[in-house]
């Protein structure tokens, strides 16, 4: 959790640095330092709200005297006309924090909205939707928070918290057996308790993994639903299973009904439209 806070703090500092630079000269030139006011976060599009807690941190880091009154919390479904929060304080502070808060909340809410749509499509199955590392550089922690708020599950945060042997790792290592064996030896040597997942491209590779063992999860890469059903039967519950590659919203349910544990979807984060909202004086 401390790592998450550290990354969020750095993101906020960088975002203010790139936006404000040596000063918001528009605001400083026409708004007195003593002027006080209120602004409301107005929702303009239906979706799932996410980012309220981060927004509070943005306001607090910029000006701890700002007061935030929250009316709608993260994870709630919102509609046009809803007021999610009202912020009171120095007008200069309201104007200087507006864009960063909106950028974060619109992006996070867009991701939460998309994730909720996918999660609802999976209702009635035991399959969960996973995010990926296809995130905006520097914003990964916030985007993965938004996935959880929307009802999804986080895959690994980065390259440090899980071993995921993908096709390139397998090919460069010289095969399935060498990749898995080296990964296990590495964890033992370094004293690391990391889950090991391996990607397989066909039934031959899957059988090699099943024969060798020593992994926690097997990912079926670009399998059809028919192939996935057979693969799940071959694994027979011995390991967690995950489907990835070429899966769309329309085919999501087909894969879930094969009995796979997880489906990873890059679209949750890599090309999401922000949820429309504005920060208006009130």
As annotated, the active-site residues are 99, 134, 166, 199, 221
Residues 6+ apart with CB under 8 A from 51: 74, 104, 105, 107, 108, 109, 142, 146
d(CA 174, CA 18): 45
Apex 166 CA angle, 193 and 122, nearest 5:
85
Q: Residues near 100 by Cβ (< 8 Å), separated by ≥ 6?
A: 12, 15, 16, 19, 58
- The CB density around residue 273, as the number of other CB atoms within 10 Å, is 13
How many other C-beta atoms can be found within 10 angstroms of the C-beta atom of residue 29? 8
- Report which DSSP code applies to 262: E
For the stretch 237-241, contacts whose Cβ atoms lie closer than 8 Å and that sit 24 or more positions apart, written own/partner, are 238/210, 239/215, 240/197, 240/216, 241/217
Distance, CA of 237 to CA of 114 (rounded, Å): 30
Please tell me the total number of residues recorded for the chain in this structure: 282
Nearest to 272 by CA among 83, 144, 158, 156: 144
d(C-alpha 116, C-alpha 103), whole Å: 20
């Amino acid at each position: 959790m401390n790592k998450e806070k550290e990354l969020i703090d750095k993101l906020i500092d960088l975002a203010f640095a790139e936006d404000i630079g040596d000063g918001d000269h528009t605001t400083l030139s026409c708004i007195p330092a003593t002027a006080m006011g209120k602004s409301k976060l107005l929702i303009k599009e239906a979706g799932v709200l996410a980012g309220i807690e981060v927004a509070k941190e943005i306001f607090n880091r910029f000006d701890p005297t700002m007061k935030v009154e929250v009316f709608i919390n993260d994870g709630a479904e919102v509609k046009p006309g809803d007021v999610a929060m009202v912020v009171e304080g120095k007008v200069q502070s309201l104007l200087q924090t507006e864009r960063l808060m909106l950028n974060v909340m619109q992006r996070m809410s867009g991701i939460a909205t998309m994730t909720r749509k996918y999660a609802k499509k999976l209702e009635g199955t035991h399959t969960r939707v996973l995010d990926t590392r296809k995130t905006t550089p520097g914003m990964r922690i916030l985007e993965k928070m938004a996935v959880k708020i929307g009802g999804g599950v986080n895959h690994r945060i980065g390259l440090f918290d899980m071993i995921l042997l993908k096709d390139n790792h397998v090919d460069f290592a010289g095969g399935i057996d060498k990749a898995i064996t080296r990964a296990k030896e590495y964890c033992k040597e370094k004293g690391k308790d990391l889950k090991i997942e391996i990607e397989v491209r066909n039934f031959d590779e899957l059988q090699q993994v099943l024969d060798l063992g020593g992994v926690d999860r097997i990912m079926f890469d670009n399998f059809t639903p028919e192939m996935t059903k057979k693969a799940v039967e071959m694994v027979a519950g011995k390991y967690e299973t995950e489907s990835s590659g070429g899966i769309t919203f329309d085919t999501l349910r087909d894969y879930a009904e094969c009995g796979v544990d997880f489906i990873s979807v890059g679209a949750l984060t890599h090309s999401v439209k922000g949820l429309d909202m504005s920060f208006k004086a009130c």
